Amino acid sequence: MKKEVEFNLIGTIPIPRIIFTLVNQNTITMSELSWYILFISQAEFGHKYTKIGIITAGDKIIAKELNCDPTTVNKKRNKLIKLGLLKTHPEGTEITNYEMFTPNKKSGVVPITTSVIREEGQKNASELFQNKEQFLKKRQEIIENQRQHLVQNL
């Protein structure tokens, strides 16, 4: 990454607890999870941004803030890309399932993870977390189900 965008220390990001199943299921190590959360924290989220879910801080900037070598940051980024948690984007690196971290009520993180864990177990919830298409499909199913219950109760 050659971008010289500031390291972002402002704002909050909801991190779903289900993310820890990635470690529990041996998908990633705790160290890789820490790097993943760091990269998530450097992505743009919210209505005022045009590149939602895109990491804006480059490797040099992140390395400077963490007092490490830029090649370390690059290796960690590439490892997470290989695992499918990040992906390359024309304008940087994209969080694969950035919708799960968007700070709005429409993200569906809590209802989806709760529902999937209750019905299908943690392993399937972990797999859902890693697959954007499955996540969006499950979210739509839950929204439709909630809509049907609402109509029935009227």
Q: Where are the alpha helices (DSSP H) in 59-131?
A: 59-66, 70-83, 109-120, 122-130
pLDDT beyond 80 at 108: no
What does the pLDDT look like over 57-81, one tens digit per residue?
A: 889 999 999 999 999 999 999 999 9
CA distance 41 to 8: 7
Q: What is the pLDDT of residue 92?
A: 85
CA distance 50 to 44: 8
Q: Give me the chain's average pLDDT, please.
A: 77
pTM of the model: 0.64
Q: What φ, ψ does residue 89 adopt, rounded to 5°?
A: -145, 150
CA distance 123 to 129: 10
Instruction: For the beta carbon of residue 21, count every other beta carbon within 10 angstroms.
Output: 22
What does the pLDDT look like over 2-50, one tens digit per residue?
A: 556 778 777 777 787 778 888 888 888 999 999 999 998 888 775 556 6
Q: What is the pLDDT of residue 153?
A: 46
| Sign of the alpha-carbon torsion through 15, 88, 10, 102 | negative
Most confident of 29-33, 98-102, 114-118: 29-33
CA distance 50 to 39: 18
Percent of the chain with pLDDT over 70: 66
